[in-house]
Amino acid sequence: MSNALKNDRYLRALAHQPVDRTPIWMMRQAGRYLPEYREIRKEAGDFMTLCRNPELACEVTLQPLRRFPLDAAILFSDILTIPDAMGLGLYFEAGEGPRFEFPLRSFSDIQKLPVPDPEDELRYVMDAVRTIRRELKGEVPLIGFSGSPWTLATYMVEGGSTKNFALIKEMAFAEPEALHLLLHKLAQSVTSYLNAQIAAGAQSVMIFDTWGGVLSPRDYREFSLSYMRQIVEGLTREADGRHVPVTLFTKNGGQWLEAMAATGCDALGIDWTTDLGDARTRVGQKVALQGNMDPSVLYASPERIRQEVQIILDSYGSGSGHVFNLGHGIHPGVNPEHAGAFIKAVQELSAGYHNN
């Protein structure tokens, strides 16, 4: 696989190397806000059929790159592929989000869980990565990803989405040994899954810890961060003659940036509840930062979007080490033209922060 990249701005920024402007991609950039995505999704019949078809997953991954001059592609998949491969029976209820037929309720349930082989039960994801890398033709790097062990565990124990996290927290405090066994198996699974993505062609990987922010500081370190550190330590960090950077993102995790930066990761995703300039002061040159515009700003006028981009660029300041992104995924109801205005604003306004 060739490592020649026509645009390596994103990888350079993650390494604090000079760039001509701040690179940009968007969380969930391939998704329901795009009419072309909705057509493919309808053709596939359901979400997981779309994920499991490497050609369709590739097509969806490339759609936003045809529309917008983005600096990275991100694999189209779902964070719940690993629990699904463990046999929990993933399905999607209209208006309800993901559900599992067989949620984990006991120590014995967890003991029986297999650690999936990424080139067997999850081969469709690796085939998608290989297909996307081929079709990208070196235009931009490809980002692979996984959910964090804690975040995956919340869905597996709760049986789906939750507002109060009662069942997973009951397990954490009443049966911690059961939860630690689950998190250990998930850390093993995520490590092998991401390494397989890297072997298949992912040039950077990201760990999404969507629900780490519901924990207390002590519990975050015990049940979330310690397992993400294990994964970071077990990842392949060079492929194709290049360093493979890893980004950690804990939603509502701004208070723990220093601890996250100490895991050995290359970058931290920052949501909109943390000031980017403050985050930069706190972590220094230790890691790059990705973020962090509130996705809801994309409902505003292009002029207002441009103002927000300027504010965030000013907050980070000059120099490399910043990948512009939303603080979480783009909302399905956003007008694609507003996403285009956002990307254009970053490209036009950010060059002045890089003295090359």
Angle between helices 166-174 and 176-200 (to 10 degrees): 110
**Does 281 count as an annotated binding residue?**
no
Q: In terms of C-beta density within 10 A (0-12 exposed, 13-18 middle, 19 or more buried), how is residue 93 classed?
A: exposed
131 is in an annotated binding site: no
The one catalytic residue in 21, 41, 99, 133 is 41
H-type alpha helices, 45-175: 47-52, 54-67, 81-85, 107-111, 123-136, 149-158, 166-174
Among this protein's residues, is 9 annotated catalytic? no
Catalytic residue from among 12, 21, 28, 133: 28
Find, among 339, 344, 342, 346, the residue nearest to 31 by Cα.
339
Could you give the C-alpha distances from 197 to 9, 115, 306, 313, 354, in angstroms and in order? 21, 16, 35, 32, 32
Q: Is 328 annotated as a binding residue?
A: yes
Phi first, then psi: what are they for 183, rounded to 5°? -65, -35
**Is 32 known to be catalytic?**
yes
Answer yes or no: is 105 a known binding residue: no
For residue 144, the SS3 value is: strand
**Among this protein's residues, is 41 annotated catalytic?**
yes
Is 52 within any annotated ligand binding site? no
213 among annotated binding-site residues: no
> Is 155 assigned a ligand-binding role in the annotation?
yes
Task: Tell me if residue 28 is catalytic.
Answer: yes
Catalytic residue selected from 8, 71, 78, 84 = 78
Lookup: tokens for 354: 């890089």
HSE on the CB side for 97, CA within 13 Å?
Answer: 10
User: 28 among the known binding-site residues?
Assistant: yes
- 38 noted as active-site residue: no
Strand pairing report for 242-243 and 238-239:
antiparallel
Task: Choose the catalytic residue: 37, 155, 220, 227.
Answer: 155
Phi, psi values for residue 90, rounded to 5°: -70, 135
Q: Is 21 annotated as a binding residue?
A: no
List, as residue ranges, the binding site for substrate.
28-32, 78, 155, 210, 328
Active site residues: 28, 32, 41, 78, 155
Binding residues: 28-32, 78, 155, 210, 328
